[in-house]
Structure 1
Amino acid sequence: MLNYETDYRPNYEMMLASAWGACGVGCAGTMIFYSGFPFVTTAIMTSVFFAASGYQAFFAQARRARMDKLEKAEQNFYSMDALREQMRDGALFLGRGFEWTIEHAQKVSDLYRDPRRLAEIKKNRKGGTFLHGVGMADEDVVFVNDDESKGHVHIVGTTGSGKTRCFDLLVTQCILRGEPVIFIDPKGDHELKNNMEMAYRRLGRGRDFVFFHPAFVEESAAINPLATYQRSSEIASRLASIIPTSSSGDAFQSFSHNALNAIFYAVEAAGQRPTIFDAQRVLAEGFGPLCVRALLGWSYSMGPEIHRKMTQAMGGKTSQEDKAFEGARFYQEISRVNPSLSLAEMNNLCSLLLHDKTHFQKMVSSLVPAVGKLCSGPLAALFSPDPQADRMPKSGKVISLKHVIDTAGGCYIGLDTLSDVDVGRAMGQMILSDLASQAGGLYNFPKDGRKRFINIFIDEAGEIANEPMIQLLNKGRGASIRMFVATQTLADYEVRTDSKAKAMQIISNMNNVIMLRTVEPETQERLAKRLPEVPIQYVMKTTASSMGDNSITGAFAKNHGERLMSEDKPIFAPQSLGDLSDLEYFAILSKSNYIKGRFPILEAPEEDYHAPRAEHYSEPVRSFRYDYEAIEETKKALSPEVIAAERPREKPPVLDVELEGYLVPPPIERRRWLPIFSWVNVFPTFRKGDRVEPVEDRFVKAHGWPDDEERDFGWDRSSDVRDQLAGESADFNLHNS
């Protein structure tokens, strides 16, 4: 780059423009006042000076505009209607930005080498606005295509950098596209939850949104993370995922996993829907009552004769424990005589029942507290709902993630880790295990014509990172699962998983990265390693001096030199990630695109709204039929009042009013540019056709004067006129919008 020139040198063009202009003025004054030249002659002869001054002023102004943009910080606000207009098929809108090139990297590197100018820009305390200012002239709308985002999106940013606004923007677009949305938030963000709910209500789908939060017992829906499964062994694996592990605890974990297998097989054999509370009750009270129901269920399935013998074997005992022991012995005897009646799951259940109780309690010592904390207090009804056991939430709502996915609904899950870290993490890991099971079902048995993404958003993912989350990232793409995972630092994954290898698995399985402001140096360096290195030029100045051979004469030599150097550096400087302003980001997309952008702020939908017309819905929403029958089946046990409260309210009609007689004048700031004689055409009531008949007269013409009976009842003409006026004003505003 032999013609290297920094943008941050002094504005020599402005100096030249001033010098040429001063020379032109001086020459013109001398020629007119001292030499007596005519004005025309003077103008022609000095035009060269002013032309040169204007030429240099043009480049000086362009340079000054570029410098001003370095300190400019803009924020864009979008309503839901404006966002809908900005969306396009097959892509998600990411705000405004530009493609980051080596030219922008060179400008930022030059600025970092100019501490004085850098300090002037940063003194406004708006962050590194120069990072976006170097390319603001090329700014345009930014999209991430579905072909890119299906490889999952990693969002990295410190507190207050804009992760919530990013989630708000992406979640709303997924809702408008008619795709399932499941948001897992360890801390619980009320604003984001409210925005999700209002987005569904604005689409007339308020009943398709549910939320779970253990702190809001009155309003929260209940989730059973064990409700859907293909094999009973899956349920045991989900619950075993929350057991604390250590290098010396593998035997304890294996025994606990085996015990959970037996428990949930017994629950299934007894004809019940498994919940976490069932496991807790067995671990606390023993296998007796559950084994009795399981053995009776097994014998019933084997025929009436075996069922009669099993009943007789248990009939002589009174306690549940004794009945279970006698039933287990009968099962072992009859299966020894007839091996075809033997089942591996029943053998495991009977062996645990007959196992030494002291040794059993020792082996499941790590399982008992892990399960117990998920059933304590209100979580018994919120996380283990069971209508048969009269264990239902106060809101009366029971949901499953499978139903949310099948109906393309939305579910916000707040884990309240700020109040109870251990319980919040355990719930999050159970939900991720349930989602991994759902992904396995969709992968094994794909539904014909499934084109919708299943969008899973996870904030503060380091809090709940586990093996099922890695499986979702690794294999969820085949089940149309698209994940958006956010964290503050990359070290959060390593701390939670206690393994650097697993942390790298999580990071490397996300093809797209959105980097907001992050101040942790190690995170900055690790993110920069994904970037290509490009040659960055700089000028190296050298100065040297030396004495001559004859020191008596005092001769000496001095030289000064400048060399143009080049050094390979990442296209995004790592320290730039710490200088990003709020809502600004660098993005690495899977198609090798490098984007510098800024997120808009999505305005919260208002409570009073008019539902959009059908043509404004996205194609998936219009073509998809929602299955509400399954919801009604889950509400049979509820009271009629609760069912009536859950029914969606009628959508307000979309008004299409054509008002006659109104002439809307242009804004006042535009009127001053109109000729004086044209003002009469822009102000209403100047022409006969522009005049609007008073509302009172129009009301009387339409309804007539009140009769004697209306007067007797105190008819107030002024109140009706005011109501009429308010209605027309609302219709007029809706028509103009």
Structure 2
Amino acid sequence: MASNYDPYIRKPYELYIAAAWFVATATSFAGYIVLPGGKSMMIPWLCFGFMALQSAIKGFNLVGRGKVGEMLTFMDVEKLMELVKPEKMWFGWGFDWMPIHTQRAVDYMLSGAKINHDQENPGSPWIHGLNTGKEKDVLIPLKSLEGHTIMFGTTGAGKTRAYEVMVTQAIHRGDTVIMIDPKGDKELRDRMELECKRAGRDDSFLFFHPAFPKSSVRLDPMRNFTRTTEIASRIASLLPSQTGGSDAFTAFAFRALNLVAQGLLETGKRPSIKQLRYYIEGGAESLLVKAIEAHANRVEPNWKEGSAEPYFTKAKAGKAKKMETITNPDWLATIEWYRTTMSNGPNGSEGIDGLLSLVEHNRLHFSKMIASLIPVLNMLTSGDLGELLSPNEDDTRDSRQIFDTSTIISGKHVLYVGLDSLSDSIVSSAIGSIVLADFASVAGMIYNSGKKPGRISMFVDEAAEVVNLPFIQILNKGRGAGFQVVMATQTLPDIVARLGDEARARQVVGNCNNLITLRIKDGDTQQFVVETFGQTYIKTVQQNISSAVNSAENIINYSGNSGQSLSFGEHDLFPQHLLGHLPNFHYIASIAGGRVIKGRLPIITH
């Protein structure tokens, strides 16, 4: 059995044999020419030449294995679109990774050869050559992508170029495309705008970037909701918390936001981040009075001239019940009338009742409880960012378009959201989280309605900077609303650090049926990846040599033996440490259903 074992990649010993046969060929040829009766050397000469050629071919074949992985391919979009098949996503060239490739990789490493020959370029191209140098187009069914995809890759490994390949095809397919890019990669943004023009979707491209407010569209991340609690949770989720949002300060901030949002809706106004900040920071007294008046006008149109008149008379005489933060007599009368005649009754409003308790809360204690909320609201409403995230539809001087996630999806737009994380990582993370929360709300609406608007391709780069609970909900239930998510991050610990819990981080990656890995260095991430790929069995040749001398009986009594055996052992389907040796733009992927692919990507040119 061991005699049939021949490593796929090893030193080309056949070249040494070929050299010996070549010497024999040359010698016999010389004899054929020079010696008398040399014609008798013709047959040996031809036989030796044939053996030399056969050994040389086999030897050079061994030398050439792995060279295909050294290729760096550039491709224009026209060629890319020719390779795309219906209901498939083209994702470079490669082959299905099988146990035989694991065997060949282990053999190569055991041979003592250098894993990386080129110190100028990171990675080991020979990994891609383990399929005898053969590769074919990698076509992934779009149906498989409905299960969402997570992509790992260290800095410079090729995540952005991978996104270019995927985003380009999504735009030409006519998908709604959302790209959340914390870094704000200009090449990726330009690629998306260019492909919209190529696909005849010039008006579909939308650009949002806090660092470029003049050329950015305005987004209203508070427009879509089914319950006011959704509005409150989008802001409250940004607060620092040691207990996942369940501590007293976060809970108090959530309640305050929710009550202010309800008060705004009572007055017929849609909540915005600016309005929430105004009433949280400056006090909700005026909002309470407006909410009571709006509610009373609906329930009892003539309330001021009727049941409330005695309260106004009493207040003007200075006999109204005093309040810590209100001195206006009319306000005091309005509040006292509501408290006496409507509060907690059939004609009352739970939202107004809650807002009233908020206004009556001790102001000093209130300020302490929202101390962490005020900075969050300030950073989302300061300067140009306030105009971008809290657009005023009545401002005729601002010609920038206003969009929300619902109109983006219904209009099949292509949205690029740059977050400028290099300049301000805290603000960029907050923006990304709010936008994702809004998309989660719309996904829920679509799911409940049962009417899918078509495929929605969402790409989230550096996902560890923006991932939150609403994003987990998109991964959980977004498929039913037509969402296909591709998220990228450098390491698994990045997500753990963001969510503060390894179990929750594994919940995020566990909701992704597809895994794409470029070069990664982190050991924990490598371990997770090889666990996903699974195990296989490989052959191992063991050589045993022993000797013994029994000098007690006879000094020449010497014995020795040698043997060779072939055994099978369990091994990772893809060797873990090779994940740190993938060249740039090379990947190993696990697709829904258990298919494992080794592939390489081109660089898309303009």
TM-score where L is the length of structure 2: 0.92
Larger Rg over CA atoms: 1
Distance in 1 (alpha carbons) for counterparts of 2:466 and 2:167: 20
Distance apart, 1:589 and its partner CA: 0.5
Q: How does 1:81-120 map to 2 (within 5 A)?
A: 81-115=78-112, 117-118=113-114
- Partner residue, 1:579: 581
Tell whether 2:410 aligns with 1:409: no
Q: Which letter maps to 1:214?
A: P
- Partner residue, 2:591: 589
Deviations 1:51-94 (A, max 9, x none): 3333334433433332xx34751122221211221111111111
Distance apart, 1:124 and its partner CA: 5.8
Distance apart, 1:321 and its partner CA: 5.5
Distance in 2 (alpha carbons) for counterparts of 1:154 and 1:521: 17
Q: 1:422 aligns with which of 418, 423, 426?
A: 426
Distance in 1 (alpha carbons) for counterparts of 2:308 and 2:391: 31
Deviations 1:393-437 (A, max 9, x none): x66222111111111111111112222222111111111110110
- Partner residue, 1:257: 254
SS in 2 for 1:378: helix
Q: 1:379 aligns with which of 385, 392, 405?
A: 385
Report the more deviating stretch, 126-135 or 202-211. Answer: 202-211
Distance in 1 (alpha carbons) for counterparts of 2:556 and 2:143: 75
Deviations 1:706-734 (A, max 9, x none): xxxxxxxxxxxxxxxxxxxxxxxxxxxxx
Q: How does 1:198-217 map to 2 (within 5 A)?
A: 198-217=194-213
- Partner residue, 1:622: none
Which ranges of 4 or more aligned residues in structure 1 deviate by more than 6 Å?
314-320
Distance in 2 (alpha carbons) for counterparts of 1:86 and 1:309: 77
Q: Which letter maps to 1:497?
A: L
Q: Contact (CA 8 Å) 1:289, 1:320: kept in 2 or not? A: no
Change over 3 Å in CA distance of 1:500–1:482 after alignment to 2: same
Tell whether 2:525 aligns with 1:528: no
Q: Which letter maps to 2:377?
A: V
Q: Contact (CA 8 Å) 2:410, 2:453: kept in 1 or not? A: no
Q: Contact (CA 8 Å) 2:68, 2:128: kept in 1 or not? A: no
Distance apart, 1:496 and its partner CA: 0.8
- Partner residue, 2:151: 155
Q: Contact (CA 8 Å) 2:94, 2:135: kept in 1 or not? A: yes
Deviations 1:587-626 (A, max 9, x none): 000111010001111113xxxxxxxxxxxxxxxxxxxxxx
Tell whether 2:333 aligns with 1:326: yes
Tell whether 2:220 aligns with 1:224: yes
Distance apart, 1:525 and its partner CA: 1.2
Distance apart, 1:576 and its partner CA: 0.6
SS in 2 for 1:563: strand
Distance apart, 1:130 and its partner CA: 0.9
- Partner residue, 2:474: 472
Q: Which letter maps to 1:437?
A: S
Distance in 2 (alpha carbons) for counterparts of 1:57 and 1:556: 42
Report the more deviating stretch, 326-335 or 209-218. Answer: 326-335
Q: Contact (CA 8 Å) 1:432, 1:468: kept in 2 or not? A: yes
Q: Which letter maps to 2:579?
A: L
SS in 2 for 1:142: strand
- Partner residue, 1:697: none
Tell whether 2:497 aligns with 1:517: no
Distance in 1 (alpha carbons) for counterparts of 2:68 and 2:138: 22
Change over 3 Å in CA distance of 1:314–1:94 after alignment to 2: farther
Distance in 2 (alpha carbons) for counterparts of 1:228 and 1:288: 26
- Partner residue, 2:438: 434
Percentage identity across paired residues of the two chains: 32
Tell whether 2:135 aligns with 1:139: yes
Distance in 2 (alpha carbons) for counterparts of 1:537 and 1:323: 89
Tell whether 2:204 aligns with 1:234: no
Distance in 1 (alpha carbons) for counterparts of 2:444 and 2:338: 35
Distance in 2 (alpha carbons) for counterparts of 1:301 and 1:543: 98
SS in 2 for 1:158: coil
Q: 1:277 aligns with which of 259, 266, 274?
A: 274
Report the more deviating stretch, 338-347 or 89-98. Answer: 338-347
SS in 2 for 1:159: coil
Q: Which letter maps to 1:297?
A: A
Distance apart, 1:123 and its partner CA: 4.7
Distance apart, 1:7 and its partner CA: 3.0
- Partner residue, 2:369: 363
Distance in 1 (alpha carbons) for counterparts of 2:41 and 2:562: 46
- Partner residue, 2:186: 190
Q: Which letter maps to 2:270?
A: R
Distance in 2 (alpha carbons) for counterparts of 1:234 and 1:321: 33
Report the more deviating stretch, 25-34 or 201-210. Answer: 25-34
Distance in 2 (alpha carbons) for counterparts of 1:457 and 1:519: 23
Change over 3 Å in CA distance of 1:10–1:364 after alignment to 2: closer
Deviations 1:511-550 (A, max 9, x none): 1000000011121112111122111222233443433132
Q: Which letter maps to 1:502?
A: R
- Partner residue, 2:6: 5
Q: Where in structure 1 are there 5+ consecutive unaligned residues? A: 605-737
Distance in 1 (alpha carbons) for counterparts of 2:247 and 2:555: 87
Q: How does 1:276-315 map to 2 (within 5 A)?
A: 276-306=273-303, 308-309=305-306
Distance in 1 (alpha carbons) for counterparts of 2:11 and 2:562: 21
Q: Contact (CA 8 Å) 2:10, 2:111: kept in 1 or not? A: no
Distance apart, 1:551 and its partner CA: 7.8
Q: Which letter maps to 2:53?
A: G
SS in 1 for 2:381: coil
TM-score where L is the length of structure 1: 0.76
Q: Contact (CA 8 Å) 1:213, 1:220: kept in 2 or not? A: yes
Distance in 1 (alpha carbons) for counterparts of 2:147 and 2:409: 19
SS in 2 for 1:304: coil
Q: 1:340 aligns with which of 320, 327, 346?
A: 346
SS in 1 for 2:346: helix
Q: Contact (CA 8 Å) 1:462, 1:492: kept in 2 or not? A: yes
Report the more deviating stretch, 228-237 or 158-167. Answer: 228-237
Distance in 2 (alpha carbons) for counterparts of 1:310 and 1:82: 78
Change over 3 Å in CA distance of 1:431–1:205 after alignment to 2: same
Report the more deviating stretch, 296-305 or 206-215. Answer: 296-305
Q: Contact (CA 8 Å) 2:184, 2:418: kept in 1 or not? A: yes
Larger relative contact order, structure 1 or 2 (CA cutoff 8 Å, min sep 6): 2
Report the more deviating stretch, 356-365 or 211-220. Answer: 356-365
Change over 3 Å in CA distance of 1:190–1:308 after alignment to 2: farther
Deviations 1:527-586 (A, max 9, x none): 111122111222233443433132883654444443323321111001010000000000
Q: How does 1:683-694 map to 2 (within 5 A)?
A: none
Q: Which letter maps to 1:147?
A: K
Q: Which letter maps to 2:214?
A: E
Distance in 2 (alpha carbons) for counterparts of 1:311 and 1:427: 45
Change over 3 Å in CA distance of 1:139–1:249 after alignment to 2: closer
Distance in 2 (alpha carbons) for counterparts of 1:443 and 1:195: 31
Report the more deviating stretch, 406-415 or 13-22. Answer: 13-22
Q: How does 1:674-689 map to 2 (within 5 A)?
A: none
SS in 1 for 2:47: helix
Distance apart, 1:25 and its partner CA: 3.8
Distance apart, 1:332 and its partner CA: 2.0
Report the more deviating stretch, 314-323 or 254-263. Answer: 314-323
Q: Contact (CA 8 Å) 1:70, 1:121: kept in 2 or not? A: no
- Partner residue, 1:243: 239
Deviations 1:152-174 (A, max 9, x none): 01000000000000111111111
Change over 3 Å in CA distance of 1:34–1:490 after alignment to 2: same
Distance apart, 1:195 and its partner CA: 0.9
Q: Contact (CA 8 Å) 1:325, 1:353: kept in 2 or not? A: no
